[in-house]
Structure formats: C-alpha cells, structure tokens
Structure 1
Amino acid sequence: MLCVRAGRAFMVLFDRCIIQVFHAAALFALIHSCRGQSEVIGPLQPVVALIGDDIILPCNLDPVMDAFGLAVEWARPDLDPRFVLLSRHGVDLESKKHPSYTSRTSLFTDELKNGNISLKISKVKLSDEGTYRCFVPELDRYTTVQLVVGAASSSAAWINSTISSSRVVLQCESAGWYPEPELLWLDGEGNLLSAGPTETLRGPDDLYTVSSRVTVEKRHSNNITCRVQQRNTNQSRETHIHVPDDFFIVISPPSNQTNDPNIIAVVIGALVVLILILAVSFVVWKKRRAKCNSMCPFLLSKVNIYHCIVSV
C-alpha cells in the first residue's frame, strides 16, 4: 500500500516537472520565434547631411520588440576598427569605436524598448560620408544606410567691366562646396544665359570654389541671378544683381589712334631726330666755346664769351 502511494506521488511530481519543462520550452520557442520574425529596417534613400550638422541614421525593428537587452552594432566596413557604435544592454562601449567617432555617436536609449536602434552622429564631418551597417547579432539581421555629406556656401556676384555701350561683364564666385557644384546664370525672366566655362578649384580641405563670367546685353530688365547648386545634396544658393542703366555707357573712340603701329613709328622717329639735333648742337657749342677760350682769353665776362662764341 505504501509503495502504491509513493508511486502515485512520484507520477504527480513527474507530471508537474514535464508541464514546467513544456512551458519553459514553449516560452523559449515563442521568444525565439518572435525574434526570428523581426527584421532590421532602414531608409530606402540616402541620408543627406551638411558639414557640422547633427544627423540621424534611421534603423528600426519590425515588428516592434524591446531591443534594450540586445546587442546593437553600427559599423563601416571601410574603417579599421570598423565599429562606429557598439552597444550592450543599452550601454555604449566607447572604447570599441573608431577614434574619429569618439563622443560623436549615440543611440536613443529611451527608444530601445520600442525597437528604435537609430544612430545619431553629432557634428558631421566630410570624412563621415559612406555606407553604414546596422546589425543585431541575436537576430542575425542587418540593414545598410548610405550617408551623403555635403557643404554649401553663399555666393557673390559683381560687375566686372563694361565693354561697350550695350554690354556688361558680370562675375560670380562661391567657395566652400562639396561635392562639386554647378554655376548657372539666369536673366530677369528666369531664362538660362549662355556663359563661359566655369572655373573650379579644389582646396586642401577638399572643398570646391567655382567662378564664372557672363556678358549681358542691355535689356528692359537688368536683374541677373547667379545660382550655385548641388543636386546630390539638394542645396542651392543665389545672388541677385541689378545692372543700372548708368553702366551701359557710350564709349567714344579717341580722335587720334595712338595704338596705330604706323603712327607710333612716326612719333618714335621724330623723337630720335630731335635727340640727334640736340646732341649735334651741343657738340658744336662745346667746340666753339673751346675755340673762343683759346682765341679770346682776355674776354672774361659771360657777355663777352657769348659774343665771342657767336662771332666764331
């Protein structure tokens, strides 16, 4: 009888253990099943930032799950070390980062529970441009985000010169651009003006300077626009310049064309002849004075010497 009761108690305990193991296994399977269904989602288009901006590279878990207990890795394959940010249980492992990102990258810790594992980069540099990898090792899922970094600056335009009664040369220049921009000239109605080739210089900081000149005709509207734009970063700067009617002045040609080669030759020849006459006259005068001194030593006054030279 005692053996039967002991057997029954053992069976009850065994059943309870089986149920607990089953529940634990089911819960474990459910958790891993949910994790397996979550995807790491990033933006479809590149993210554009200007130098000095704070920028966010989006990355989220879909469907939403708590990412606080997960490892999150942001990396750039072209760097060594490649990690831009490495997080464990919401803690940023600063020592694992590439030195150029020290104290400049972070996660939104309060948003991890909502599956938001986006990366914030502070004070963007030109060297930050590249492809970033958002990876969650426990899910074995990742996505990539392309960051395009640009720079834009204001432009300046001015009247360079007046070349005729109805034409004026304008010049425009703008520095501090990346990537290389294009420079356009527009008239008062927004029509594109035909201009000379754009001059482009790239400085040691990898930023571009562009400049261009355009010749404009006298029009009813003398409002001209210089536009510098960069399509990849969707940046544009404009400078408007008004050409007063006073600048369209009449330039009359001089009455004597001193730039005529024949006239110049005649002038030079006349100067040479004059110099020769003066030289000969001086030599003759010197000889007569010397002769006068030898012939008339008794004549000491300047007047007498003058009369002596003349009479010789």
Structure 2
Amino acid sequence: HRIHFCFHSVCFVAKFDISVPPSPQVRVYGQAMVLPCTFPVGNSWDPSSSVITWQRGSEVVHSFYHGRDQLARQGLHYANRTRLYHDEMERGNASLRLERTTLGDAGYYTCSVTTQIGSQKKSFSVKIGAFYLEPFIHVSLLSNGRIDLLISSQGGYPSPSVQWLMGDKEDLTNVTFTQLEQDKDTKLYNMNSKLNLTSVINTSITFILKNEELGQEIRRNINLFSGEFSSLLVLSLTCHYLGDNLKHLSLRFPIQSLQNPSLCTCLFCYG
C-alpha cells in the first residue's frame, strides 16, 4: 500500500510502512512488557476508520476498531492484561502493553494496522526470561573430615549453565552434581549444585551461574582455610555486585568439637 502526497500539483508516492523490532525481543518474567509498533498517520488520524490488531500466531491478543477496543475475540490467556496507548495513536503509536508476563507469552507476535492511507502487518519474536534469585550456600562439615558445598538458586528461566572452578583454572564441573527441577505451574527452574571436598587446606572455589538469555551472571568466590593442626575451619565468601563492588563474609567453625555427625550452615549475599 502506498501513500500519495501532492505539493503544488506535483504528487509523490510513499509506501505505507509500519515499524516493529527487527530482531527477537527478550522480556522479563512477571514484569509488564511493551511490544513496539508504529505506523504513518499522514495528515490526519481517524480512529473510527482504523483497525489495529495484535496476534500471537492465530490467537487474538488485542483488537481496536470502530474507535474503541474490541475484546470479544481476545484469547483467554490475555484477558485483563492488555492495553493500547489510545492517547498516542494519533501520533502513530500502535504499541501493546502486556501486564504480568508469563513464560506462556513467548512466541511470534504480529502487529496489523489499517488506516485511510494504507494497511500492513509485520511480525517479530518475543522470548521470556526470568532472573535466578540470590543463591544460598549450604556448607556441611562431615564427621569424616569431608565438606559438602551445596549452592541453591530458584525461579530462573531458561535453564542455566553452571561451572565450578578451583583456583583460577582447574575446572571441577565434571565432578559436581547439578540438579534442575522445573515448577509444574510456573515452569521456572530451581537449581541445586553440589561439590564434595576431601581437603580444605587453603582451598579457593569459584561458583558461576549464567542465564545467557538475560545476560545474568552470578559468581561466588568461596575460600576455605584450615591448617593441618588447626581446630577451626574458616569460610570466606566474596559477593560480587554491579559496578564491581565486593562484599566479604567470614565464618569460623570448630572442627574438633563437632557433637553431631554433621554441621550445616547457610550463607547468602544481599544488598
């Protein structure tokens, strides 16, 4: 469809071209998301003769025609969660706001616009990700001298990559056990990853969790110190924050005076 402009009896022809994102969009679980779509309005905007429709596949997400929202055919999945920017339509804004984003909102969305001067529709992909929560670090001191480090994090999507390092280079990931469980309702992942240590004399461990979809990286440096004849285990945790800010936590455990087969404590970083 083309738009005709005339100036002093000279006419120009321009294509009616709506605009949507050229690449896949990533949005965050639980938050509101805006799906951008703009269109040319020409010299005037007449809502009564214009149609704006959003679809995901064949499912109707939101419709506007006869000058108002038309939601009779809206998919139940989107009920009470969508709105258009009515005050900005006259400036060519057909963007859709979707509240309380779920993983089920991922897919290909199509924005269709028809006005007095043209009609067009375009599609783009939307991916949904969820940030993993601050991990808990569970330290178990076993009576046989071994130590179990268990790191747990919840509520993320998609499944993360997990890596354990000793020192700066030695990769221990292949000798660790990582378990992922997906919530049956939300489909978010819960992660538990365990490392067993037989010696803790001046041991430095780094745990790394990455959510590539959202660019999230959680890195925890754990330092364990226990001299050959020492009666104490010193656990030091380094927390990394945005802007390269660091925070150090330290705990001391009496090894020789354990009364129970095991002793467990939990650490986590916070703001």
TM range (shorter): 0.5 to 0.7
Distance 1:233 1:34 in 2: 45
TM-score (norm 2): 0.67
Cα displacement string for residues 191-227 of structure 1 (whole angstroms, at most 9, x for unaligned residues): 56313242222231222222212245546564x4433
Q: In structure 2, do the counterparts of structure 1 residues 215 and 67 end up closer, same or farther at CA, with 3 Å as the change threshold? A: farther
More helix by share: 1
Aligned to 2:247: none
Aligned to 1:74: 54
Larger gyration radius, structure 1 or structure 2: 1
Letter in 2 for 1:112: M
Map 1:233-272 onto structure 2 (within 5 A).
Answer: 233-245=214-226, 246-247=232-233
Letter in 2 for 1:174: S
**Relative contact order (alpha carbons < 8 A, sep ≥ 6): 1 or 2 greater?**
2
Cα displacement string for residues 54-75 of structure 1 (whole angstroms, at most 9, x for unaligned residues): 1111111258776553211101
Map 1:266-281 onto structure 2 (within 5 A).
Answer: none
Do the aligned partners of 2:166 and 2:172 also contact (CA within 8 Å) in 1? no
Alignment pair present for 1:95 and 2:72: yes
Letter in 1 for 2:213: N
Following TM superposition, by how much is the alpha carbon of 1:34 offset from its aligned partner in structure 2, in angstroms? Answer: 8.2
Partner of 2:217, secondary structure, is: strand
Alignment pair present for 1:122 and 2:103: no
Cα displacement string for residues 149-201 of structure 1 (whole angstroms, at most 9, x for unaligned residues): 12223221122345877x64311122222221222224565x56313242222
Percent identity over the alignment? 23
TM-score (norm 1): 0.59
Distance 1:67 1:168 in 2: 70
Aligned to 2:110: 133
Aligned to 1:200: 180
Cα displacement string for residues 71-110 of structure 1 (whole angstroms, at most 9, x for unaligned residues): 11101125xxx21110125521122311221221111122
Following TM superposition, by how much is the alpha carbon of 1:236 offset from its aligned partner in structure 2, in angstroms? Answer: 3.4
Letter in 2 for 1:182: S
Distance 1:35 1:197 in 2: 65
Aligned to 1:176: 155
Can you give the 5+ residue segments of structure 1 that lack an aligned partner in the other structure? 1-27, 252-312
Map 1:9-24 onto structure 2 (within 5 A).
Answer: none
Do the aligned partners of 1:198 and 1:210 also contact (CA within 8 Å) in 2? yes
Number of corresponding residues: 217
Of 34, 37, 40, the residue aligned with 2:18 is: 40
Partner of 1:247, secondary structure, is: strand
More strand by share: 2
